[in-house]
Amino acid sequence: MKEVLPKFNSTFSIDCVVFGFDEGELKILLIERNEEPFKDWWALPGNIVEENESLDQSASRILNELTGLTNIYMEQYYTFGDVNRHPQGRVVSIAYYALLRLGGDKALKPLSTYAKQAHWINVKELPKLAFDHQQIFEKGLEKIKRRIKHQPIAFELLPEKFTLTQLQNVYEVILSKKLDKRNFRKKMLSFGVLKDLEEKQQGVSFRAATLYKFDRRKYAKLFGKEISF
Amino acid sequence: MKEVLPKFNSTFSIDCVVFGFDEGELKILLIERNEEPFKDWWALPGNIVEENESLDQSASRILNELTGLTNIYMEQYYTFGDVNRHPQGRVVSIAYYALLRLGGDKALKPLSTYAKQAHWINVKELPKLAFDHQQIFEKGLEKIKRRIKHQPIAFELLPEKFTLTQLQNVYEVILSKKLDKRNFRKKMLSFGVLKDLEEKQQGVSFRAATLYKFDRRKYAKLFGKEISF
DNA sequence: ATATAAGGTGTATTATTTACACTAAGTAAT
DNA sequence: ATTACTTAGTGTAAATAATACACCTTATAT
């Protein structure tokens, strides 16, 4: 361990693009920094990786500290390592995106010790971001655009029980385009991974829609087959 | 730079899965280690990132040291950071895959100062690998399997001028399945990104095939459109 | 000349994707 | 209870893409 590592002062951090979906809007969690560098700037939540935690563990911890939630769906997607990306030294940052259900009952209030404030901000109205976080965000958004076509990640952004219209909204906002209602439903239902709960939405004005849930078992059975949502 | 970074002894490395294609076989470049840990084991080529180079630069350098080649197609695809993946300390490794043309005239002989030897080994006949390199390799292979369907990476494995049969071989060996000759040709040509060179193979026994090249300009014009090779 | 080995070609069938508009059902206001 | 309003929910025809499938051509080697 001695002579080989490390060759110079360096460290690694995790940065998270935390996507949340609420009433038709795609948002991410941003913090307002309370420390130099980039004091008072908006930034992606992130932190230094600790000695005794893997990258995935670190990402979970950071997200838990920020939201109080555990078991959030996360995926590592790229590592940013330009020499001067951090003004205080060599910091290589491993980027994760996370997907979670906002809205409804639990009204997720982000809490943060290391930031002035944390807010959910619509991806279409982002402020300037610290460091290379704009780039990290853009690559993250690109990733989920690709991945939503082949993997069932849309469901992570919705409550357990959801309507087909809500599901369609997720696809529309992530792909930034309108989809045809009939074709969308036909295709989604044709995979056989949505379970009709024979239950209706509650507390909406106007006609209530049928609730569905994502059937992970049936989806697991399909595996191997390339699905194209 | 002082008080924040770093919190503990750590370093980052690059590991490369270097794919080469030669006479119908998909191979990767492995080195036999000359130093502890894992002395005498086969391993993916890799090295420590230097202070003044970005990750991409580091990956290029490592590959250049090994092959003498520059301008090789490379992509970062995943970062491995389990706490104990390296027995000598905390080493986070950023994995790249590279694709290059073997065979024919230049008969690429890998040279290596930091290894006993380096060889091109068929991906179906890999030995046990050092560290977590088996995992790194598998994820790399998975990546190119996915990517070859949407991006024109197959051409990186072929010489400038190639036949349709050679191209089909690349797809077959990466996807591990036979494809129909007529359907493959029809589809490939339908994208309009292959230029018929009106020239035949030289020096083959039996009938010579027409040579094509990949037309990057025409491909660039298609962009935005999702292609499915 | 002949045998050999790979090159090169077309069509019919099936599956998938797209385009498109109205009726049904529940709520809210009068 | 009637009406107006808003979203839920449904089917078919046309176009496009994917698949299955077999023979003749051409250059080389003997």
Q: Can you tell me the distance from the alpha carbon of A182 to that of A174, in angstroms, rounded to the nearest whole number?
A: 19
Query: Taking the alpha carbons of A128, A131, A135, A140 in that order, is the dihedral positive or negative?
Result: negative
Q: What is the pLDDT of residue B5?
A: 63
Helix (H/G/I), strand (E/B), else coil: A186: helix
Alpha-carbon distances, residue A146 vs A80, A141, B222 (angstroms): 20, 9, 18
CA of A6 to C1' of C11 (A): 65
The residue-averaged pLDDT of B72-89 equals: 96
CB-based burial label for A190 (10 Å; 0-12, 13-18, 19+):
exposed
Helix (H) or strand (E) holding B169: helix B164-175
- pLDDT band (50, 70, 90) for residue B108: low
- pLDDT band (50, 70, 90) for residue B105: very low
**In this structure, which long-range contacts are made by residues A200-207, counting pairs with CB atoms below 8 Å and at least 24 apart in sequence?**
A201/A163
Strands A46-48 and A42-43: unpaired
Q: What is the DSSP letter of B124?
A: G
Which bases on strand C have an atom closer than 7 Å to a protein beta carbon?
4-11, 17-21, 24-28
Q: Can you tell me the distance from the alpha carbon of B55 to that of A136, in angstroms, rounded to the nearest whole number?
A: 15
Place of tokens 């044709």: A190
Q: Mean pLDDT over all residues of chain B?
A: 91
Give B78→chain A minimum CA distance, Å. Answer: 7
Tokens at B113, concatenated: 């100062």
pLDDT in single tens digits along all 229 residues of chain A: 444 566 677 899 999 999 999 889 999 999 999 888 999 999 999 999 999 999 999 999 999 998 888 999 999 999 999 999 999 999 999 999 999 998 754 455 666 667 888 889 999 999 999 999 999 999 999 999 999 999 999 999 999 999 999 999 999 999 999 999 999 999 999 999 999 999 999 988 899 999 999 999 999 988 767 788 8
Taking 70 as the threshold, does the pLDDT of residue B94 lie above it?
yes
Q: What is the pLDDT of residue A73?
A: 97
- The share of chain B scoring above pLDDT 90, in percent, equals 76
Amino acid at B163: T
- pLDDT band (50, 70, 90) for residue B110: low
Q: Can you tell me the distance from the alpha carbon of B214 to that of B212, in angstroms, rounded to the nearest whole number?
A: 7
Helix (H) or strand (E) holding B147: helix B133-147
A5 in contact with B at a CB cutoff of 8 Å?
A: yes
The residue-averaged pLDDT of B211-229 equals: 88
Taking 70 as the threshold, does the pLDDT of residue B2 lie above it?
no
The answer to whether the CB atoms of B88 and A9 lie below 8 A apart is: no
Please provide residue A213's backbone torsions phi and psi, each rounded to the nearest 5 degrees. -130, 160
For B183-195, write each residue's pLDDT tens digit: 999 999 999 999 9
Helix (H/G/I), strand (E/B), else coil: A123: helix
Which of A9, A53, A94 lies closest to B5 in CB terms?
Answer: A9
- State if pTM tops 0.85: yes
For B155-175, write each residue's pLDDT tens digit: 999 999 999 999 999 999 999
Q: Which residues contact B225 (CB under 8 A, 6 or more apart)?
A: none
Nearest Cα residue to A16 out of A50, A53, A80, A62: A62
Amino acid at B169: N
Q: What is the DSSP letter of B155?
A: G
Which of B52, B54, B79 lies closest to A76 in CB terms?
Answer: B79
Taking 50 as the threshold, does the pLDDT of residue B198 lie above it?
yes
A197 in contact with nucleic chain D (CB within 7 A): no
Q: What is the pLDDT of residue B106?
A: 47
Tokens at B83, concatenated: 């706490």
A84 in contact with B at a CB cutoff of 8 Å?
A: no
- The share of chain B scoring above pLDDT 70, in percent, equals 92
Strands B115-122 and B10-22: unpaired
Give the count of beta carbons closer than 10 Å to the beta carbon of residue B131. Answer: 22
Q: What is the pLDDT of residue B96?
A: 98
